[in-house]
Chains A and B, each alone.
Chain A
Amino acid sequence: MSADEPVVDASLTMASMTDRICAIALREHAFLWWWIAFIPCAALVGLLVVSIVYLFYAGVGIWGINWPVMWGFAILSYVWWIAIASGGTIISALFFLVRADWRDSINRIAESMMLFGAAAAGIYPILHLGRPWLFYWLFFYPNVMTLWPQFRSPLLWDFWALFTYVFASILFWYFGLVPDLASVRDRATTARKQRIYGALALGFRGTRRQWKHLRATYGVMAAIMAPVVVSIHSIVGLDFAGAATPGWHSTQFPPFFVFGALLSGFAIVLLLVIPMRRLLNLEDMMTGRHLDVLCKLLLTSSLLICYAYSMDAFTTFYGGDQAERTMFEARVFGDYRPVYWGAMLFNCLLPQLFWSRRLRRHIPTIVLVCLGVVVGMWLERYEIVVTSLHRPHLPSAWGNFHGTFWDWSTLFGTIGLFLSGILLSVRYIPIVSMHEMRSLIAENRSAKETGA
């Protein structure tokens, strides 16, 4: 197999493709492996619910946060999830705009990833509040206090960026889904499924008019999603860069965070594609070519991250601010050095394996590296949030931070939430964007005919 391997297998026809994808969504009974995967994830969701209930009852004190480390898991996991979601959007929107043919078969997966990543991220900002029931004070609406939010705060920008991102993602995802829902509707055999998918398809029948405006609208939507996804992660970066805190006060944070989004996005998408193409035997749609491309992209974003890390170190010492240096030394050599070096290893070193073409096709390696990146990105956020805060300007205020049980339970709960979401979408929603695949197949056909 090689990089010039086609993005779809020649044997694939519109009919066979449609039938297979619809068959997955319409299965009477779920696969066994599906249950094996879903049950533990559902259990984790239960854990999440428990954690949240107790949090609201007792207060954020149940977490490890303290003075001076006032932000902990809630923020860093939020950033982590947002990065994962953004990665999905970038694949589905950005690469749509550049007409990357390999995107069509995996963009639905990328979009589900965006959707449920955003969902997992979305609950954190509210949990994070000391008085979560007052979160609506961040909306602007005419109230009896005649008060408005404080628009200078990066946190408010973040809140609205997240708000926009979540809703826009849902619209974008659903909009691209409509024609495929129609296909499923027409393949459905039971009245119940016909009605459900039929209602969701909103009566899409593929008329000339429907197709024409669909393409136009979808194109513009993608063109909007691209800057939106860049903006949300830049703004998340500003949550930190906007503060004068040592370790945060850096102009490179917005791009730095976007690089992180790319890296974790590609890693997660690989982690989802690899088992799915195997379990749902879609190797002929998600070919070695896809893995190759994604690995290359992962490698590229890893190099970007390396650049960001090195600039971080450079500016700290070139800037010569004492507090910054003290903090950075603590980060690199202090109690939290495993976090720093862990991030270095997983985000910078490990991906370098992908310089080798062979390893770019070696499934175990890919899985290993991607898992490493996922962990590494979390460590990076831990390093940014916690180690920066634990060394403020005044030595008298130095502190330490350790996650409590509830910190971890919430984190794993959200992981459960994400995975159950993905599994449900695999179970009930066409996992490949069929109408885009059809165009792709058609193109290949015509290409061959002209070639022949």
Chain B
Amino acid sequence: MAAIFGPAANLASKVFLLLAAAALPGGMLLWWRWPKTDYARNRREAVAQPVPFSHQHHVAGLGIDCRFCHASVEVSSNAGLPPTYTCMTCHSQIWTKAALLAPVRESLITGIPIVWRRVTDLPDYVYFNHSIHIAKGVGCESCHGEVATMALTYKAKALTMKFCLDCHRNPGPRLRPKSAIFDTKWHRTADTPSPATLLGIYHVPDRNLTDCSLCHR
């Protein structure tokens, strides 16, 4: 009789099985790596805003302090967004005709707020509090990246739960002197106080910083 399969079938079947076997670890690798990618976390994507506001110009260029616009960052869970009035403190004097700023003037006249697009968002079941992080020596840059260099604002860090926990498990090295908290270009140098000293300075409490109840309610 004629054989059911030709000689080639042997190699073909073996190769097929090997590929099938390889698919499993491959899939697992993808499953593991994918959420970590910038794409999945939409990092480094500048979001189109009604007014193309440049942190680079305002912070690095003009040296305006973060707190001038994000006024409640030291006292509230919410850092706060500048009301139209804050923008107009300067722009009633300069660039009063600039087309780019039309929406701002519009808002002032109509009393209808400017609607900004959210850049850094946390899930609703995560209760992040700005004030306590500022109070304990965590710099803006630690989560928001070097905002001072952003012509258009984008999300700089992954902001996954792992990202939070990396710091909550070992805060010391991430802390910085009070003077440097709002300096997004600051980096650890030789004369920076040691993590231990910083923890002491800020009285970082002895509570378990990885308790679920710390962030989830």
A-side residues, CB < 8 A to B, are 141-147, 185, 191, 194-195, 198-199, 202-203
Secondary structure at the B interface, as helix, strand, loop or mixed, is helix
Interface stretch among B30-38, B50-58, B87-95, B199-207?
B30-38
Given the complex, which residues of B lie within 8 Å of A203, measured CB to CB?
A: 10
The size class of the interface chain B forms with chain A is 10 to 19
Known contacts being A185-B4, A194-B4, A198-B4, is A146 close to B162, with CB within 8 Å?
Answer: yes
> Which residue of A141, A145, A194, A195 contacts B162 across the interface (Cβ within 8 Å)?
A145
Q: By CB atoms of chain B within 10 A, which of A145, A146, A147, A194 has the most?
A: A146
In the assembled complex, the CB of B108 is this many whole angstroms from the nearest CB of chain A, namely: 42
Cβ-defined contact, B4 with A144, below 8 A: no
CB-defined A-B contacts under 8 Å, sample of 11: A141-B31, A142-B32, A144-B35, A144-B36, A144-B160, A144-B162, A145-B160, A191-B4, A194-B4, A198-B5, A199-B13
Chain B residue with Cβ nearest A197: B4
How far apart are B18's CB and chain A's nearest CB, in angstroms?
14
Q: Kindly count the residue-residue contacts between A and B in the assembled complex, taking CB atoms under 8 Å apart.
A: 29
B28 at the interface (CB under 8 A from A): yes
Residue B47 lies at the interface, judged by CB distance under 8 Å to chain A: no
Given contacts A146-B161, A191-B4, A195-B4, 15 further A-B contacts (CB under 8 A): A141-B28, A143-B32, A144-B36, A145-B160, A145-B161, A146-B162, A147-B161, A185-B4, A194-B4, A195-B5, A198-B4, A198-B5, A199-B13, A202-B13, A203-B10
Q: Is B165 an interface residue (CB 8 A)?
A: yes
Q: Would you call B32 and A141 a contact (CB within 8 A)?
A: yes
Least Cβ–Cβ distance between A376 and chain B, in angstroms: 41
CB-nearest residue of chain B relative to A191?
B4
User: Which of B1-31 touch A at CB < 8 Å?
Assistant: 4-5, 10, 13, 28, 31
Within the complex, the shortest CB–CB distance from A167 to chain B, in Å, comes to 12
**Complex interface: chain A residues within 8 A of B35 (CB):** 143-144
B5 proximity list for chain A (CB < 8 A): 195, 198
CB within 8 Å of A: which B114-156 residues: none
Closest to B161 in A: A145
Complex CA distance for A198 and B5, rounded to whole angstroms: 8
Q: Chain A nearest CB: distance from B2 CB in Å?
A: 10
Chain A hits for B161, CB < 8 A:
144-147
In the bound complex, residues from chain A placing their C-beta under 8 Å from that of B158 are 144
Q: How far is the CB of A62 from chain B (nearest CB, A)?
A: 25
Chain B residues with Cβ under 8 A from A202's Cβ? 13
Look across to chain A and name the residue whose beta carbon is closest to the beta carbon of B160: A144
Within the complex, what minimum Cβ distance (angstroms) separates A195 from chain B?
A: 6
Report the minimum CB–CB distance from A184 to chain B (whole Å): 12
In the bound complex, how far is the Cα of B3 from the Cα of A191, in angstroms? 10
**What B residues does A195 contact at CB under 8 A?**
4-5
Q: CA–CA, A185 to B31, complex, Å?
A: 39
For the complex of A and B, the 8 pairs showing the least CB-CB separation, nearest first, are A144-B160, A145-B161, A198-B4, A194-B4, A144-B35, A146-B162, A144-B162, A142-B32
- Residue among A143, A195, A198 having the largest count of chain B Cβ atoms under 10 Å: A143
* Cα-based distance from A358 to B5 in the complex (angstroms): 53
Question: How distant is A371 from chain B, measured CB to nearest CB, in Å?
Answer: 42
Q: How far is the CB of B210 from chain A (nearest CB, A)?
A: 9
Digitize B70-83: 1 where CB-to-A-CB distance is under 8 Å, 0 elsewhere: 00000000000000
Give the distance to chain B from A187, nearest Cβ to Cβ, in Å. 12
Q: Given the known A-B contacts A141-B31, A141-B32, A199-B13, are A146 and B4 also in contact in the complex, defined by CB atoms under 8 Å? A: no
Question: Shortest beta-carbon distance, A165 to chain B, in Å?
Answer: 19
**Complex alpha-carbon distance, A54 and B52, angstroms:** 46
Shortest beta-carbon distance, B130 to chain A, in Å? 22
B contact residues around A191 at 8 Å (CB)? 4
Residues of A within 8 A of B32 (CB): 141-143
Which residues of A lie under 8 Å from residue B162 when comparing CB positions? 144-146
Interchain nearest-CB distance for A296 vs B (Å): 44
Q: What is the distance, in angstroms, from B27's C-beta to the closest C-beta of chain A?
A: 11
| Interfacial chain B residues near A185, Cβ < 8 Å | 4
The residue in chain A whose Cβ has the minimal distance to the Cβ of B5 is A198
Give Cα A143 to B28, complex, Å. Answer: 11
Identity of the chain B residue whose Cβ is nearest the Cβ of A146 in the assembled complex: B162
Q: How far is the CB of B201 from chain A (nearest CB, A)?
A: 28
The chain B residue sitting closest to A198, CB to CB, is B4
CB distance from A85 to the nearest CB of B (A): 24
